[in-house]
């Protein structure tokens, strides 16, 4: 995560540094060249206007005498420092003076720079000298080649001067400035990257620490929550001496059933907690009724039937358990055919958790010894379930129970009381973490 962030931020910062660097150095180069051009062109043009007049261009330059007179007239111009070469064209584009006399009178077609200058535009370009051209100044790599329109008081272009002008150290200055700009941009972005990395590391360290604190708090809360459930279950078991350990075994059987039914982890955990707390409402039932050795009278039975509602109400008041979990507790005595209590729910109206807990509750009740009867064998219990499948219990849950009966007997009933108690804690803890 950290490495990915640092790699990506480095990539994007370098990308933006490159784009910015290219833009700034290109703009700077253009600005420096434009500035140089705007200095040189007026200089040359003023010199020409100072030494020549329109009349000089009217003379036929094909004659050697005329050529020499013109050469003399522009001597001061051609001796200007940095001016490497100069040619003059008339308004028809013919060469009327060149340092190569044989070119005088020639006219070259396909010269776009000259064509544009004849229309009044100053055309200037910086170019690298070819080997043939580099005859005047060895060691020069760049020159300014310009076509300068000349007017001599006329509104139309009268003639054009073509000049090759020495650029001097301009390109070296541009190169040095570009290096400086690249250095500043890269150093700035590197500093930005280091600052960003430091902020990121500080923030991620803080988040990690807060996550660890949160994890510790969460574990403490889970511990407190499990402690509360254990205390509640112990309180229920202590009230009813005939059903000691019953809540724990119902929870274990319920978990095995949820695993066989492939119930999701969250619902499984809720069913486990609901199974542990399913008879918590018995706290509100008179001990005389709870511990009565014989059968209950109809009035006593009506009181006893209130325990799912009492349990749900008590846990709802606590406000820490989910509505689904509380509904499982309220409905654990509902029957699949609708003849159960307290709400007479039928089939899918009964929460799946309540249908599972009802089966687990009945299984353990039949497998446990009571003062008025002995514990039934696993075979007898399964036979009873087959009889009431689809009426009292959900046939899907009963079928699952038949499939895992041996597993239930091995895990829940083969262990001693001490081992069972240990298993309760570890099973609960594991489910909490999941």
Which residue ranges make up the site for Fe ion (CB under 5 A)? 279
Q: How far is the CB of 279 from Fe ion (least distance, A)?
A: 4
Cα-Cα end-to-end distance for the chain: 24
CB 278 within 8 A of CB 250: yes
404's CB contacts (< 8 A; 6+ apart) are 256, 257, 260
In sequence order, what DSSP letters do the residues of 131-149 get, joined into one string?
TTTTTSSTT--EEEEEEEE
**What's the gap between Cα 426 and its chain centre?**
38
Q: What is the rounded distance in angstroms from the CA atom of residue 167 to the CA atom of residue 29?
A: 14
117 or 285: CB nearest Fe ion: 285
279 or 364: CB nearest Fe ion: 279
Query: What Rg value do the Cα atoms of the chain yield, rounded?
Result: 51
149 or 353: CB nearest Fe ion: 353
Half-sphere exposure of 389 (CA within 13 A, CB side): 15
Q: How far is the CB of 261 from Fe ion (least distance, A)?
A: 21
Residue 197 token pair: 């990395």
Helices (DSSP H) in 240-292: which residue ranges?
246-260, 265-276, 287-290
91 or 305: CB nearest Fe ion: 305
87 or 278: CB nearest Fe ion: 278
Strand partners, 147: 123, 162
33 or 280: CB nearest Fe ion: 280
Element containing residue 431 per DSSP (H, E): helix 417-433
Q: How far is the CB of 304 from Fe ion (least distance, A)?
A: 9
33 or 328: CB nearest Fe ion: 328
Q: How far is the CB of 362 from Fe ion (least distance, A)?
A: 10
Q: How far is the CB of 329 from Fe ion (least distance, A)?
A: 9
CB 287 within 8 A of CB 274: no
Report the residue number whose CB is nearest to Fe ion: 279
366-405 CB burial, b ≥16 within 10 A, e <16: bbbeeeeeeebebeebbeebeeebeebbbeebbebbeebb
Q: How far is the CB of 305 from Fe ion (least distance, A)?
A: 9
148 or 236: CB nearest Fe ion: 236
Q: How far is the CB of 335 from Fe ion (least distance, A)?
A: 13
Q: How far is the CB of 200 from Fe ion (least distance, A)?
A: 56
263 or 357: CB nearest Fe ion: 357
270 or 279: CB nearest Fe ion: 279
CB 175 within 8 A of CB 22: no
Where does residue 164 rank: exposed (0-12), middle (13-18), buried (19+ CB within 10 A)?
Answer: buried
Q: How far is the CB of 240 from Fe ion (least distance, A)?
A: 10
Residue 383 token pair: 């036979």
Phi, psi values for residue 66, rounded to 5°: -65, -45
Determine the length of the chain.
434
Q: How far is the CB of 358 from Fe ion (least distance, A)?
A: 9
């Amino acid at each position: 995560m950290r490495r990915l962030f640092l790699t990506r931020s480095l990539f994007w910062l370098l990308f933006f540094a490159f784009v910015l660097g290219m833009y700034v150095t290109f703009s700077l180069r253009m600005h420096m060249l434009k500035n140089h051009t705007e200095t040189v062109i007026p200089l040359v043009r003023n010199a020409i206007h100072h030494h020549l007049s329109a009349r000089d261009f009217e003379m036929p330059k094909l004659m050697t005498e005329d050529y020499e007179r013109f050469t003399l007239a522009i001597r001061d111009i051609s001796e200007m420092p940095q001016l490497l070469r100069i040619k003059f064209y008339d308004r028809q584009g013919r060469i009327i003076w060149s340092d190569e006399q044989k070119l005088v009178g020639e006219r070259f077609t396909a010269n776009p720079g000259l064509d544009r200058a004849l229309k009044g535009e100053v055309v200037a370009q910086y170019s690298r000298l070819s080997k043939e051209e580099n005859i005047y100044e060895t060691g020069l790599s760049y020159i300014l080649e310009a076509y300068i329109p000349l007017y001599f008081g006329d509104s139309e272009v009268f003639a054009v001067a073509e000049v090759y002008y020495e650029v001097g150290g301009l390109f070296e200055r541009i190169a040095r400035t570009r290096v400086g700009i690249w250095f500043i941009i890269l150093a700035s972005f590197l500093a930005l990257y280091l600052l960003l990395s430091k902020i990121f590391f500080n923030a991620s360290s803080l988040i990690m620490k807060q996550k660890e604190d949160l994890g510790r708090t969460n574990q403490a809360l889970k511990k407190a929550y499990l402690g509360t459930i254990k205390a509640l279950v112990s309180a229920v078991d202590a009230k009813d001496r005939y059903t000691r350990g019953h809540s724990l075994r119902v929870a274990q059987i319920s978990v095995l059933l949820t695993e066989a039914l492939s119930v999701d982890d969250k619902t499984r955990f809720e069913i486990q907690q609901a199974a542990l707390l399913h008879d918590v409402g018995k706290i509100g039932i008179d001990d005389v009724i709870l511990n009565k050795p014989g059968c209950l009278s109809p009035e006593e039975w009506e009181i006893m039937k209130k325990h799912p509602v009492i349990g749900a109400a008590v846990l709802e008041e606590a406000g820490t358990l989910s509505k689904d979990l509380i509904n499982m507790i309220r409905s654990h005595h509902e029957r699949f055919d609708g003849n159960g209590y307290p709400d007479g729910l039928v089939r899918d109206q009964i929460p799946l958790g309540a249908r599972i807990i009802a089966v687990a509750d009945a299984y353990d009740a039949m497998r446990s010894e009571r003062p008025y009867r002995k514990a039934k064998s696993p075979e007898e219990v399964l036979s009873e379930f087959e009889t009431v499948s689809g009426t009292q219990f959900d046939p899907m849950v009963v079928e699952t129970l038949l499939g895992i009966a041996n597993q239930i007997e091995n895990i829940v009933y083969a262990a001693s009381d001490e081992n069972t108690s240990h298993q309760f804690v570890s099973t609960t803890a594991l489910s909490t973490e999941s």
